Amino acid sequence: MKTSKLLLGLLLSGSLTACGGGGGGSSAPKPASSIAPASSVAPASVAASSIAPSSAAASSLAASSAASQGAVTISSFIVVDQFGYLPHAKKVAVIRDPQTGYDAALSFTPGATYQLMNLDTNAVVFSGSAVSWKSGATFDAAGDRAWWFDFSSVTTPGRYAVVDVEKNVRSPGFNIGADVYKPVLKHAMRSFFYQRAGFPKELPFAELGWTDGASHIGAGQDKNARLFSDKNNTATEKDLSGGWYDAGDYNKYTNWHAYYLVALLHAYAENPTIWTDDYNIPESGNGVPDIIDEIKWGFDWLKKMQNSDGSVLSILGLSHEKAPNQHASPPSSATGPSYYGPASTSATLTSAGAFALGSKILAGLDNPELNTYAADLKTRAENAWAWAVANPNVTFRNNEGVSAGLGAGQQEVDDAGRATKKTTAAIYLFAATGSATYRSHVDANATNATSWVDVWNEPEVTAWLYYASLPDATGAVATSLKNQYQSAFNANNNWPAVRNGDDPYRAYIGTSNFTWGSNRTISRKGLTFHNLIDYNISGIDQTEVRNAAVGYLNYIHGVNPQAMVYLSNMYSLGVHSSVNEFYHSWFTDDSPLWDRVGRSTYGPAPGFLVGGPNPSYDWDGNCTSGSPNAGCGSAAPNPPKGQPAMKAYLDFNTSWPLNSWQITENHNDYQVAYIRLLSKFVPAP
């Protein structure tokens, strides 16, 4: 659809208003300047980071926010990975010309000559022309025409920009270097520190501006959580403190939490030499990689959720009752009560797999304390398996029916989902124990297990490939799994889409896969490619594989129609346009301290991956676009509604009735997928 010049002008000028409600209520309209497309917003101030950026990135921040090289100004139509590129990776700047969507009133046609300029020396190091994508076709998922400027031949480390000589504009600055993603990984991983419940965020570990006391440890909270169905019974109280907030609220879901541990364990095991002990968390410097310390923090909570009979409780949540300060800012000011749900088969199976893989990985670190911890995890895994086998159909659907009000998202699965969880648990139990019982269960369910490869089954397929990598796996099954995976990659939208260049932004997932959490989808798609290397699939070109996978990383880092980094507040690393605000109970709308970069004192903490474009976004039914009505100010915003899939995004954090969580909420599931992909491109110290 075409967006009028009037609407676009209102969005960019700040004249359009939208409601600024929060927590289920409404408040005065919020100026639209706070929800304009991110590329039009330059932060007024950026809090200092305790994770030091490279000197080139730090020195470029001022230049990147306005202009550099005389009159050459930054254009949102020349999009690049704003962190940078590895020396020997594929490097392609995308030049975009909007045809449909909120920016359709604008246009850009590249000039005849493009240059790669070293921003430190002003030297032109490469010159060429931009090549039209698909002979000028419009990419429907983005509503853009596009051109590619390939500067892959430049491998010399430095600080660069892509310049359109004729139009006198350039891209944001970026680095070329072997370690361009290392500080990014630290920030992304540190988001779990900020998500810790029941743990103080204090200097020097919390960065200046994002300190807080321990949350959810008051009367009736996590240390004294009660069964949701028996709230008045003190006999049900359990100490379930710790763990991580699951997303932008303060709930904790066992099925999902256990999987985050699995994903982080894979991130470590697939590239163990890159993980260092200097991420500036309280455990840093203890001789254990900080990712393992964070994993252990997660396991400490999961262990509390396991009952003595081996079963695992399903959820620790905050009731949606009208309790005061239920999801308050900062987290330590939240005073509402905590409740848990009963054990379920799915939560127990997912936990069994996590306990088992944790036992396997931690036992391999040759650390006496962790060896003892790993042995305990192994016992817990086998106890959980035994309970789940004896109780195969125990379900609990939180926040539905009699459990309405407990938590928010639904984590329960159907019969097929439990069967998948059981097989996945068996894979990790076999790795930890070597027992033929688990191997037999795995082998019996291996038929066509990896014959379909897509983003939606990536966690399960990764588990199968992990099984195929184990030395004691059944040889014929392992060979079949790898062959299936290789065959699947030569079909559908895997290698054909990449080799045909079907996405000008070089991150093809298909329009239909742009749904809630599309940035997780992007990350998982990149992982499906890199699995070919990680799990030794034969007959591949490793350079081609890595170039395919890194394209998905480039997309998250700025090679997208928004020309923005989809991580929060990354200006300390020299980016030009980053997520300025996102839906989170701490970094809440209208907070004078943490709402938005450049308007509030600090903005949100750095390193959180937001959900991303979501064409199914919709505001509450009481809002009507362009018409004043209750709670919606003068008009509900567009974007994100009614846009091409990749443009269905807005840099805002307004709660009900505009429901920004559909596109800008963080989620640990997004975070672990991104961290695992990013870690593939970070060198060992």
pLDDT attached to residue 9: 31
Judge if 334 and 363 occupy the same domain: yes
For residue 493, name the pLDDT band (cuts at 50, 70, 90): confident
Q: Can you list the positions of beta strands (E) in 437-541?
A: none
Cis peptide before 204 (omega within 30 of 0): yes
Same domain, 221 and 186: yes
Phi/psi of residue 624, each to 5°? -130, 125
Domain annotation covers residue 139: yes
Q: What is the pLDDT of residues 81-121, one digit of tens each?
A: 999 999 999 999 999 999 999 999 999 999 999 999 999 99
Structure tokens at 424: 């996945």
Comparing C-alpha atoms, which of 183, 432, 186, 134 is closest to residue 294? Answer: 186
Helix ranges restricted to H, 131-229: 182-194
pLDDT surpasses 50 at 425: yes
**What is the rounded CA–CA span in Å between residue 322 and residue 650?**
30
Weakest-pLDDT range from 278-292, 308-322, 451-465, 591-605: 308-322
647 belongs to a structural domain: no
Q: Give the pLDDT confidence score for residue 321 in this predicted structure.
A: 57
Check pLDDT > 80 for residue 46. no
**Which residues fall within 8 angstroms of residue 176, CB to CB, at 6 or more apart?**
84, 85, 86, 87, 91, 154, 155, 156, 157, 158, 160
Residue from 437, 611, 504, 638 nearest 18 by CA: 638
Residue 263 has pLDDT above 90, yes or no: yes
Residue 555 falls inside a structural domain: no
Per-residue pLDDT tens digits for 339-352: 999 999 999 999 99
User: What's the pLDDT at 13?
Assistant: 28
pLDDT given for residue 154 in this prediction: 98
Residue for token pair 């993603």: 181
pTM of the predicted protein model: 0.91
Residues 6 or more apart from 647 whose CB is under 8 A from it? 101, 102, 103, 142, 143, 561, 562, 613, 639, 640
CB neighbours of residue 88 within 10 Å: 13
pLDDT in the model for residue 306? 98
Question: How confident is the model at residue 621, as a pLDDT?
Answer: 77
Interval 557-576: pLDDT, tens? 999 999 999 999 999 999 99
Which of 471, 506, 534 terminates a domain? The answer is 471
Percent of the chain clearing pLDDT 70 (strictly above): 87
pLDDT of residue 322 exceeding 70 = no
pLDDT score for 625? 53
- Kindly report the CA angle at 501 between 152 and 456, in degrees rounded to 5? 110
pLDDT tens profile 357-381: 999 999 999 999 999 999 999 999 9
Kindly state whether residue 507 falls inside one of the protein's structural domains: no
- Average pLDDT (450-456) is 92
In this structure, are 402 and 273 located in the same domain?
yes
pLDDT tens readout for residues 226-258: 999 999 999 999 999 999 999 999 999 999 999
Over residues 17-27, the pLDDT tens digits come to: 222 222 222 22
Q: What is the bridge-based pairing of β-strands 169-170 and 158-164?
A: antiparallel
Mean pLDDT of 379-385: 98
* Torsions phi, psi for 408 (to 5 deg): -135, -70
Phi then psi for residue 213, to 5 deg, are: -75, 175
Asked whether the predicted pLDDT for residue 5 surpasses 50, the reply is no
State residue 657's pLDDT score.
85
> What is the model's pLDDT at position 1?
33
Average pLDDT of the segment spanning 134-156: 98
Q: How far is CA 226 from CA 199, 302, 313, 331, in A?
A: 20, 17, 12, 20
- How sure is the predictor about 623, in pLDDT bands with cuts at 50, 70 and 90? confident
- Give me the mean pLDDT over the 154-170 stretch: 97
Distance, CA of 538 to CA of 545 (rounded, Å) = 12
| pLDDT score, position 319 | 66
Is 57 contained in some domain? no
Q: What is the CATH number of the domain that holds 114?
A: 2.60.40.10
The boundaries of the domain holding residue 100 are 65-176
Q: Residue 633 corresponds to which amino acid?
A: G
Per-residue pLDDT at 638: 78
Q: What is the DSSP string of 302-324?
A: HHHTB-TTS-BB-EEEEB-SS-T
| DSSP assigned state of 627 | B
Q: How many folded domains does the chain comprise?
A: 2
Query: Is the CA virtual torsion 158, 577, 106, 14 positive or negative?
Result: negative
Choose the final residue of a domain: 154, 176, 198.
176
Q: Does residue 282 or residue 38 have the better pLDDT?
A: 282
- The answer on 390 and 330 residing in a single domain is yes
Query: Does residue 496 surpass a pLDDT of 50?
Result: yes
Q: Are residues 195 and 167 in the same domain?
A: no
Residues 318 and 432 in one domain: yes
Of 8 and 503, the one with more pLDDT: 503
Give the Cα separation of 530 and 518 in Å (integer).
Answer: 19
Higher pLDDT, 63 or 537: 537
> In the beta sheet, which residues pair with residue 114?
128, 164
Q: How far is CA 16 from the centre of its chain?
A: 30
613 part of a folded domain: no
Nearest-CA neighbor of 605 among 587, 578, 589, 583?
A: 587
**What confidence score (pLDDT) does residue 491 get?**
84
Sequence-separated (6 or more) residues with CB below 8 Å from residue 86: 176, 177, 178, 180, 181, 550, 681
Question: For the domain that residue 234 is a member of, what is the CATH number?
Answer: 1.50.10.10
The pLDDT tens digits for 511-548 are 999 999 999 999 999 999 999 999 999 999 999 999 99
What's the chain's average pLDDT?
A: 89
Burial of 685 (0-12, 13-18, 19+ CB in 10 A): exposed
> 134 falls in which pLDDT band (50, 70, 90)?
very high
Question: Are 261 and 215 in the same domain?
Answer: yes
586 beta partners: none
The pLDDT assigned to 325 comes to 67
Pairing of strands 565-568, 578-579: parallel
Q: For residue 143, is it within any domain?
A: yes
Q: What is the mean pLDDT of residues 636-641?
A: 82
Q: Are residues 277 and 364 in the same domain?
A: yes
In a domain, 534, yes or no: no
Query: pLDDT for 399-409, tens place per residue?
Result: 999 999 899 88
Q: What is the spatial distance between Cα 282 and Cα 280, in angstroms, rounded to a whole number?
A: 7
The reply to whether 317 and 233 lie within a common domain is: yes
Residue 27 burial by Cβ neighbours in a 10 Å radius (0-12, 13-18, 19+): middle
Tokens of 83: 């962190």
Which of 176, 201, 224 represents a domain boundary (last residue)? Answer: 176
Say whether both 333 and 186 belong to one domain.
Answer: yes
283 in the same domain as 201: yes
Helix, strand or coil for residue 288?
coil
The reported pLDDT for the residue numbered 327 is 81
Task: Report yes or no: 21 and 619 within 8 Å, Cβ to Cβ.
Answer: no
Residue 410: HSE in the Cβ half-sphere, 13 Å Cα cutoff? 11
Shared domain for 164 and 190, answered yes or no, is no
Cα(300)–Cα(490) distance, rounded to whole angstroms? 42
Helix, strand, or coil (residue 541): coil
